[in-house]
A and B are shown apart, each in its own frame.
Chain A
C-alpha cells in the first residue's frame, strides 16, 4: 500500500520560495501567474493494513508541522 502526503503552508504563512518561483516564471515570460505556493510531496510505501490513524499520526508527529503547515493524505492502491 502506498500513500502520498501533500504538505502545504497554511494560508497567511509567507512563502518566500513560492515568491521566488513566481518571479522566475515571470522572468521566463510567463504572464498570468497570480500566485505560487510551494509545498512537499512525501510518498510512503506502507505495510498492508497500516491504519488511517497511524498514517495521520505520522503526519502530525513528524511529516507536517501543524503550526505552519496543512497536510492531505492520498492513499494509492
Chain B
C-alpha cells in the first residue's frame, strides 16, 4: 500500500499526518514536495496536510492549489486514489476544484483552537466506515478560515447525495449547515477542517481519529 503526504512551504501538520498514515498502513508515506510533478506510481492514499501554505497569501490554500503537484493529485483522484485534506488541506482541495464550495474567515472573526464534538453524518464512506451514523466523536480544530460556504443548490446536492461526512455538533465558525467535512461525488476525496491525525494515540487524550485511518486502510485492502 503506497501513501504520500504533500508538503507545501508553510505546511505544519505534514509530519503528524505521516505518522498517522504510517501507523495505519505500516509503511512510511512518501513526502512529496509541492514543486514535484509526479507521485509514486499506483499511489493509493494521498494526504494534503494542515498548516498555512504560502502564508495564506491571496486566500487560504489558493497558491498551494495551483502548485505543480496538485495536477498529479487531481489525476490520482480521478483514477480512484483516496485523498484526505485536513484543515489547510481542505482549503487547498476546494481551491483546486476537487471539492465544491469555499472556506471563509470564521464568522466570529476569531481563530478557533479546541476540541469540538462532531456528528458522523455518512458512515458509508471509505473514510468513515469505522464510525456509526449519528455517532458523536471529538477531534481538535485549529483554524481561522473554516467557515464552509457554498450556494444553496450545491448544499442541497451535497445533502441529497450523502456527501456531508461530518457536521459540527455546535456551530463553531459559521459553516453552512454545520458542515465540517465533505466528500467528492465519487467518495474518494474527503476534505475536513478538524484534525483526525491529532487523536490517534491514547497519549493524545483520544483515539477517535485512529478509526478514520484504519477504516481507510481496510477499504484499500478490500479494494485490492
Contact = CB atoms under 8 A, between A and B. Distances in A.
Nearest to B94: A67
Contacts, number: 36
A57 interface: no
A50 B66 CA distance: 22
A65 B62 contact: yes
Contacts of A67: 94, 100-102, 149-150
B107 A16 contact: yes
Contacts of A16: 105-109
Contact of B149 (A17, A19, A61, A68): A68
Contact of B59 (A15, A17, A61, A65): A65
Interface residues of A, number: 13
Nearest to A16: B109
Given A14-B104, A65-B102, A67-B150, A19 B109 contact: yes
Contacts of A15: 105
Interface in B70-123: 94-95, 100-102, 104-109
Interface of A: 13-17, 19-20, 61-63, 65, 67-68
21 contacts: A13-B104, A14-B104, A14-B105, A14-B147, A14-B149, A15-B105, A16-B106, A16-B108, A17-B109, A19-B109, A20-B109, A62-B58, A62-B62, A65-B62, A65-B95, A67-B94, A67-B100, A67-B101, A67-B150, A68-B102, A68-B149
